[in-house]
Amino acid sequence: MKKDWTYLTKMAANKPVRIVRVVIEGDEVAIEGDFELPPLAKLDSDDQIFAAVFIKCHGSIKQMEKYFNVSYPTIKNRLNRIAEKLDFARVETEVDESDALDRLDKGEIDVNEAIELLKKRRK
């Protein structure tokens, strides 16, 4: 009986998972080895769902606010937290002043980091 992806995610309980056997359906081919999960599959199920909804919303934070019934800063903070877990893709982003100040206010960054982010914004 096949289980959906949430079953594996919950069963692993955020512990590292290795894939040792891959079966290609319909071709009767199985490959054994030591395979690492793709980065998105390493996210917990809540973050996977959040990322999927973000894609379905075409990146619209306004739609995300409505879907999850939360504020803009909450969506931005969640996206930032997920982005930190996805270190395979480095993207330089423009920093919003209010975003830097929100992060400072929440203790996510210190004063020096906030100053650096604001300096980058002005360049």
Q: Would the pTM of this model clear 0.85, i.e. be above it?
A: no
What confidence category does residue 5 fall into, taking pLDDT thresholds of 50, 70 and 90? low
pLDDT value of position 54 = 94
CA 23 centroid distance within chain: 27
CA angle 101, 55, 108 (to 5 degrees): 20
> Contact, 104 vs 114, CB < 8 A?
yes
Q: Is 59 exposed, middle or buried (0-12, 13-18, 19+ CB in 10 A)?
A: exposed
pLDDT in tens, 36-86: 888 888 888 889 999 999 999 999 989 999 999 999 889 999 998 998 888
